[in-house]
Structure formats: structure tokens, C-alpha cells
Amino acid sequence: MPQRRVVTGRSYEPRLRFAEELRLLRAGKGESLRDLAERLGWDPSTLGKMESGRSLGSPEIVEALERYYGTPGLLLALWELAVGDPTQFKEQYRRYMILETEALSLWHYGVSILPGLLQTDGYARELLALGGAKGDELDQQVEARTGRRKLLEEEDAPIFRALIAEAVLRTPLRDTAAWRGQLEHLLEVSRWQNVTLQVVPQRAGLHGLVSTSVMFLKLLGGRTVAYMENALRGELIEENASVERLHRAYDAMRDLALNPDESRKFILRMLEEVPCEPST
């Protein structure tokens, strides 16, 4: 078999390719990181992490780099590929992540935590730190987790319904400001046309998914798969009978949930109970 011809010699891995492109563009200008930071008004350590592949940065900083380098669309496209790259997730989650991006609609029930698609940076950071991640590894995992939020913000975003157990909203973060930000984000998202949030009150009692966090994904062709997850592992369920059984339990629980308007009022009450930061 003939060897594959190398065209550029650059990485085929989206995150590394993005970092390589940033380094090459800066080298072409003959500038140091500090020079670039002064011209853009961004911290040089942030730019350095992006060029080393330790961070992807925000879309705002990527757009600023595009304007500076005169590469309209290129850097943002590479950034989007890097953010959505399933290889940045642990092996057992990769197939699910691919299916998630292809789904026409998604339905979620969270028994103990918020779904990744709704998590803010602060929520994801505290949650992922509990698993032992720290430093650059933690930064990368937070970016990968919260980068999934853009799936719900795109022009052709899928329909998303989330049933959230009351206990999830009564389990605050240690960081009060981060918890307030998370609740505010839920209120904002609940008003999006493609998103429906419903709270399952504790008074609903026991139900068929009482100990199960699950996401249903409706795929092209009408097929639906389910993904069940706990603190140790996730399992993709594709067998029709098992998916149907889980879906019946989900539908029954939806009947027990507060309607969307009542759910927004419930989240607002939770927000009002969050202590305000002392003024300085």
C-alpha cells in the first residue's frame, strides 16, 4: 500500500492543529507572546495556553485573533472543530458525543446533577474537580464539557427537554457566585424556543427513574437510543425494547413534573435563596 502523501505535515487532531495554526501565524508576524498580548489586550498566559494546546480560549479571543491576522473564518472554524472533537473526551463517552451532535432532539433526566449541555463553567469546574482533575487537565475537561453548550445555541439546534429533580436544584456549589450564575443560566435557557425545562418536585415520590440519569437521542431515520450514566461509567443503550421501557418511565415521570412556567418560578425561588455576595 502506498504511503499517504503528507501535504502540510501538520497535525490531524483538531485541538493540536488549532494550536499549531496560532503558533505559525504569530511566527509569521515575528512577534513574541507579550507583543501579541499588548496588541490585542489579552493576557499573555492565556495566549500561551492556547498555542500549547492546553486551552482553546473563548470565541471572543479567537475572533480578535482572526481580525488581527486577517484570516476571516479560518481560526473560528478550527476552534469549532477543536471544541466539538470527541477525542477530547474519555473513550467510553466518545460514541455518545458523536451521536449527541447528530441528534434531532434530546430528552434528559438528571437525578443528581445538571446535564452537561446546561452546565456553566463554574458548575462544571467544581463537579469535575471532585473526580480528581486539576491544573491543565481540569481546564481542558471544563472546556470540553461546557463547549457542548453551543449545540443548543446553533441556528439548527436540536429540540432539548430536561427534567430536573428538585434535589439537583437544592444542592448548591461551594462557590456562591458560581451557583448564582448557574441558576441564572438555567432561567435564561428555559426561555429559548428549542429548550424545555421542567422540575420534578420531591413530592412526586418514587418513580421509574428514581436512581437513573438518562439521555434519549432521536437520530436521523427516527431511531432513538438512550445513554445512562453514573459517577463511574456511562452505557449507550441501542436495543429497542430497553429504550422503549426507559422512555415509558420517562413519559410517566414527565406527567409528575411541574410545567415549564411553574418550573421557572421554582428556579427563581432557588435563586432568591442564594446569599448575596457582601459588598466591599
Q: Check pLDDT > 70 for residue 233.
A: no
Lookup: cell for 210: 428514581
* Structure confidence at residue 182 (pLDDT): 96
pLDDT of residue 52: 82
The three-class DSSP label of residue 163 is strand
* pLDDT at position 158 over 80: yes
Surface-to-core class of residue 41, CB atoms within 10 Å of its CB (0-12 exposed, 13-18 middle, 19+ buried) = exposed
What confidence tens digit (pLDDT) does each residue in 94-135 have?
A: 677 778 888 899 999 988 889 989 999 999 999 888 877 788
Calculate mean pLDDT across residues 193-217: 86
| Cβ neighbours for 31, distance < 8 A, ≥ 6 positions apart | 39
DSSP string, 103-160: -SEEEEEESSS--GGG--HHHHHHHHHTTT--HHHHHHHHHHHHHGGGGGTSTTPPEE
pLDDT at position 89:
55
d(CA 108, CA 250): 9
pLDDT of residue 147: 79
pLDDT band, residue 169 (cuts 50/70/90): very high
Mean local confidence (pLDDT), 18-32: 88
Hey, is 72 helix, strand or coil? coil
How many C-beta neighbours within 10 Å does residue 255 have? Answer: 8
Name 234's bridge partners.
229
What is the value of pTM for the model shown? 0.68
Give the pLDDT of residue 280. Answer: 44
Element (H, E) at 162: strand 159-165
Is 86 or 20 the better-scoring residue by pLDDT? 20
The owner of cell 434531532 is 104
Cα distance between residue 50 and residue 21, in whole Å: 10
Per-position DSSP letters for 180-236, written without gaps between them: HHHHHHHHHHTTSTTEEEEEE-GGG---TTTT-EEEEEEPTTS-EEEEEE-SS-EEE
| DSSP bridge partners of 195 | 160
- Residue 195's pLDDT band, with cuts at 50, 70 and 90, is very high
pLDDT band at 181 (very low <50, low <70, confident <90, very high): very high
Q: What is the pLDDT of residues 47-79, one digit of tens each?
A: 888 888 777 777 788 888 988 898 888 888 888
State yes or no: pLDDT of 277 exceeds 70.
Answer: no
In terms of average pLDDT, the best of 28-32, 111-115, 185-189, 201-205 is 185-189
The pLDDT, as a whole number, for residue 1 is 47
By mean pLDDT, which of 37-46, 204-213, 237-246 is the weakest?
204-213
Average model confidence (pLDDT) across the chain: 84
Cell numbers placing 128: 469535575
What's the CA angle centered on 147, arms 142 and 151, to 5 degrees? Answer: 150
Q: Is 152 exposed, middle or buried (0-12, 13-18, 19+ CB in 10 A)?
A: middle
Q: What is the pLDDT of residue 266?
A: 97
Q: At what angle do helices 44-52 and 33-40 cross, to 10 degrees?
A: 120
